[in-house]
Amino acid sequence: MLKEKFVEFFPFVAYLSLGAFAFMLIAATLALLFFKPQTAKEQASKSTAWTLTLALGALAAGALGYYLMAAYDYPKMAFKVAAALVYAIAFAAGGSLSVTAGVRKTMMKSLYGLVATMFAAILFLMQFGGHEAENREFKVDLSDEKRLQHGAAVFRDYCLSCHGLALVRTNQMLKLGLSKEQLEATMLTSVDKIGEPMHVAMRSEDAKVWFGAAPPDLSLEASAKKPEWIYSYLTGFYKDDERPTGWNNIAFDKVAMPHVLWLEQGVQTLTEEGRKKEPAHRTHEDLVLTTPGLQGAEDFDRTAADVTNFLVWASEPDQNQRKQIGVGVMLFLALLSFVAFKLSKNYWKDIR
Q: Does residue number 307 form part of the binding site for ligand HEC (CB under 6 A)? A: yes
Q: Does residue number 230 form part of the binding site for ligand HEC (CB under 6 A)? A: yes
**What is the DSSP annotation of 273-332?**
HHHHS-GGG--GGGEEEEEE-SS-HHHHHHHHHHHHHHHHHHTSTTHHHHHHHHHHHHHH
**Binding segment for ligand HEC among 25-33, 249-257, 292-300, 330-338 (CB under 6 A)?**
249-257
E strands in 15-105: none
**Binding segment for ligand HEC among 74-82, 111-119, 210-218, 271-279 (CB under 6 A)?**
210-218
Residues 84 and 69: their CA atoms lie apart, in Å, by 17
Q: Does residue number 150 form part of the binding site for ligand HEC (CB under 6 A)? A: no
Q: Does residue number 262 form part of the binding site for ligand HEC (CB under 6 A)? A: no
- 202: left (phi > 0), else alpha (psi -120 to 50), else beta? beta
**Binding segment for ligand HEC among 3-11, 59-67, 209-217, 266-274 (CB under 6 A)?**
209-217
Long-range contacts of 316-325 (CB under 8 A, 24+ apart): 316/223, 317/168, 317/172, 317/175, 318/175, 319/142, 320/142, 320/175, 321/175
Smallest separation (angstroms) from ligand HEC to the CB of 93: 42
Q: Does residue number 217 form part of the binding site for ligand HEC (CB under 6 A)? A: no
Among 246, 258, 266, 293, binds ligand HEC (CB under 6 A): 258
Nearer to ligand HEC, 20 or 261 (CB): 261
Q: Does residue number 306 form part of the binding site for ligand HEC (CB under 6 A)? A: no
> Measured between alpha carbons, how far apart are the two ends of the chain, in Å?
52
Q: Does residue number 211 form part of the binding site for ligand HEC (CB under 6 A)? A: yes
Q: Does residue number 216 form part of the binding site for ligand HEC (CB under 6 A)? A: yes
Smallest separation (angstroms) from ligand HEC to the CB of 253: 9
Q: Which ranges constitute the DSSP H helices of 127-226?
A: 145-158, 180-182, 204-211, 221-224
Q: Does residue number 89 form part of the binding site for ligand HEC (CB under 6 A)? A: no
Chain centroid, CA 311 distance in Å: 12
Q: Which residues in this chain contact ligand HEC in the complex, by CB under 6 A?
A: 158-159, 161-163, 211, 213, 215-216, 221, 225, 230, 233-234, 255-258, 260-261, 307
